[in-house]
Amino acid sequence: MRRFNLALLAALTLSAGLTAAPAQAHEGHRPLGIENCTADACHFDVPPGTYDVKVLLGGEAASSTAVSGETRRSLLPETPAAAGERVARSFTVNVRTPEGEPTGPVGTPGLDLVIGGSAPALADIRVTPARHARQILLVGDSTVCDQPGAPYSGWGQQLPQYLRRGLSVANYADSGESTVTYLQNPQLWATVQPLIRPGDLVLIQLAHNDKTTDEATYRANLETLVAGVREKGGEPVLVTPIVRRWFNADGTLNNNTALLVNSLGVDHPAVIRSVAAAQHVPLVDLTARTKALVESLGVEGSKAIYLYNEKKDNTHTSVHGATVYAALVRDALVAQHLVPEGLVRVG
């Protein structure tokens, strides 16, 4: 990293008049920096790809800074710095078109970052193409996807903040998709499969919209996805769906609606567990983990995990809930040695 005047950069950071200027990633391979930032945002004119971002946080006053980007992805959790202190952090970000849901709006070209937090202060930033980053690709539905508007958030939208430089999330989850529609739509599986590289993880959570899918078809669709990942040298990971917030009178979750048993009596989590065992695929039992958490919080406490207070919605998660559920996924990936501990953030 080149030397810079910290006092000058801090002043620029706090100045609302600083104008972002587009920069090209290929201009002499020079790292793109703070000249592309305003007080609260940065724009880098880069093509689709994977990029390492290094930030230096802090200013003359005490600060607390978080970084998000693209379609409301949380890329760096809120990070405090004492007055005069500088804190270095880095992460790897996926830039794609469309930048959010695969069937959604294209979004803006390049990499867009938002500098947030309770007292944001960005002292410096560098963006360079990632050379050897590993990918986590996500195949899922609205409970996983990069939701375009508040107050909604999928757990895949919050997962990047828990990962360090060298590991990126490419979230190809899409609202309303079942195993049937995900395989049929050329914007979805036919687009995702060619992107899989040897060693990449592909997390698959599809169940919420398989309301009329019979068991044989559901099982066959999961097996097709698993085989397609392996064909490209990737490692499939089956993820059972997050629970819905539907309680019985005794404070436990409803066996059908909450635990994803469809109208045909297909127990989606049970089928996923069965396919994982038969195909020797790693399993993240997010149904069991979210069930335990929601029941422990109870009828009232669990409202904040979902959008009950805002929308009377017992299926989709709030930003808080998605963040909590993303941490459960992170913990499961580390526990099964699918992701090295050194590439994750804890807390």
> How do residues 63-89 score in pLDDT, each as one tens digit?
999 999 999 999 999 999 999 999 999
Q: pLDDT of 149-190, one tens digit each?
A: 999 999 999 999 999 999 999 999 999 999 999 999 999 999
**What's the mean pLDDT when you consider all of the chain?**
92
59 is a domain residue:
yes
Give the span between the Cα atoms of 219 and 214, in whole angstroms: 9
188 is a domain residue:
yes
Q: Which residues, including other chains, have CB under 8 Å from residue 195's CB and lie 6 or more apart?
A: 135, 137, 170
| pLDDT value of position 30 | 65
Across residues 294-310, what is the average pLDDT?
Answer: 98
Same domain (yes/no): 192, 239: yes
299 is a domain residue:
yes
pTM: 0.91
Which residue range(s) make up the domain with 170? 134-342
Across residues 47-58, what is the average pLDDT?
Answer: 98
Same domain (yes/no): 78, 202: no
Give the span between the Cα atoms of 74 and 8, in whole angstroms: 28
Q: Choose between 30 and 158: higher pLDDT.
A: 158
Percent of the chain with pLDDT over 70: 91
Same domain (yes/no): 118, 66: yes
| pLDDT value of position 15 | 32
Q: How many domains does the chain have?
A: 2
220 is a domain residue:
yes
282 is a domain residue:
yes
Q: pLDDT of 309-320, one tens digit each?
A: 999 999 999 999
167 is a domain residue:
yes
**Domain limit, last residue, from 129, 149, 165:** 129
Same domain (yes/no): 98, 141: no
Across residues 210-233, what is the average pLDDT?
Answer: 98
